[in-house]
Amino acid sequence: MSDLVGQNAPDFTLRDQDGKKVTLSELRGQPVVLVFYPLDWSPVCTDQLSLYQDSMGDFKKQGATLYGVSVDSAFSHKAFQDHLGIQFPLLADFEPKGEVARKYGMYMEKHGTNERGFVVIDADGKVKHVHKSPSPLEIPAANLILDALAV
């Protein structure tokens, strides 16, 4: 578990795939899941985000909004989202590179990309759960996120 659990989630403002600003503190009142992933267009990231897209109905039943977060630009996110048919927003932690991922302990300095994992934030803005995959090749299953939301 992370030291962040039980703490106020670090606030941020990032642009989504359409260039719209998304500010975490403005999302209070609903659970938020930040899905950190290394890069758009990589095979494992493609599989991961497609898996979550397939589970969107389950996330909505829990009242949760999912946001993908990587160090790619909003332009890359838009093309990636369109290519995969993803309906949840992708946030560009582009410049300063990985600033938000660092706040959540999800940045890999050595590789210049995000870790693969997720953070569940409750409706009050507190970190409820943090999961970091033991390997960048290991996709956190959708049921791990759903279980964390249900607790």
Active site residues: 45
Instruction: For residue 59, give Cα distances in angstroms to 53, 64, 76, 149.
Output: 10, 5, 25, 9
Give the span between the Cα atoms of 122 and 58, in whole angstroms.
17
Give the residue carrying structure tokens 């332009």.
75
Burial of 100 (0-12, 13-18, 19+ CB in 10 A): buried
Whether the Cβ atoms of residue 113 and residue 39 lie closer than 8 Å to each other: yes
Give the span between the Cα atoms of 7 and 91, in whole angstroms.
22
Give the span between the Cα atoms of 9 and 135, in whole angstroms.
24
